[in-house]
């Protein structure tokens, strides 16, 4: 009898994820972040993602900026759409700021400090141990697949 081999493929995201607790709407928040951090986040067409605890995907708005000098892509996602959320923990999370790069040459602690200095942002949290956050990893996987499938 042939020996069975189990293939265990783990998804290792090359994203850094920050959680933002903030009151302004997404356009205002983008303007504030752009001004404070010297980015140029702009609105892109909505992306199809499945909220936590749901089987039906929904369109979520997101903002994007690519820093070619540092080779970092920034994505700002609204965590809420009505009563549905993309990431349930931590509670009351309003936005996710995702950064994707093969070689991070930015100081994440400095970025978090700049975000926390924006008065309309209650706090910013760096999910340092995101590999332990199953829901976040699932969201990052879904987000990356949605970006690939998204027409330009």
| pLDDT at residue 93 is higher than 70 | yes
Let me know if residue 138 belongs to a domain. Answer: yes
Let me know if residue 8 belongs to a domain. Answer: no
Let me know if residue 10 belongs to a domain. Answer: no
The CB density around residue 58, as the number of other CB atoms within 10 Å, is 15
Number of domains observed in the structure of the chain:
1
CATH number, domain with residue 40? 3.30.310
CB of 36 closer than 8 Å to CB of 118 = yes
| pLDDT at residue 11 is higher than 60 | no
Q: Which two tokens stand for residue 130?
A: 């995101």
Percent of the chain with pLDDT over 90: 39
Let me know if residue 4 belongs to a domain. Answer: no
Let me know if residue 72 belongs to a domain. Answer: yes
Let me know if residue 45 belongs to a domain. Answer: yes
Let me know if residue 118 belongs to a domain. Answer: yes
Domain extent at residue 107: 15-149
List own/partner pairs for 90-96 with CB under 8 A and 24 or more apart: 90/19, 90/125, 92/21, 93/19, 93/20, 93/21, 94/20, 94/21, 94/22, 94/23, 95/19, 95/20, 95/22, 95/26, 95/29, 96/17, 96/18, 96/19, 96/20, 96/139
Let me know if residue 92 belongs to a domain. Answer: yes
pLDDT tens by residue, 117-130: 999 999 999 987 66
pTM assigned to the model: 0.85
């Amino acid at each position: 009898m042939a020996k069975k081999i189990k293939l265990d493929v783990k998804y290792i995201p090359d994203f850094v994820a920050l959680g933002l607790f903030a009151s302004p709407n997404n356009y205002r928040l983008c303007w504030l972040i752009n001004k404070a951090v010297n980015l140029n986040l702009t609105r892109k067409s909505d992306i199809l993602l499945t909220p936590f605890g749901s089987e039906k995907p929904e369109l979520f708005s997101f903002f994007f900026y690519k820093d070619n000098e540092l080779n970092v892509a920034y994505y700002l996602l609204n965590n809420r759409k009505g009563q549905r959320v993309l990431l349930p923990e931590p509670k009351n999370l309003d936005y996710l700021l995702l950064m994707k790069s093969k070689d991070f040459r930015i100081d994440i602690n400095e970025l978090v400090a700049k975000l926390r200095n924006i008065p309309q942002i209650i706090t910013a949290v760096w999910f340092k141990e995101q590999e332990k956050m199953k829901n976040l990893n699932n969201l990052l996987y879904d987000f990356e697949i949605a970006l690939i499938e998204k027409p330009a």
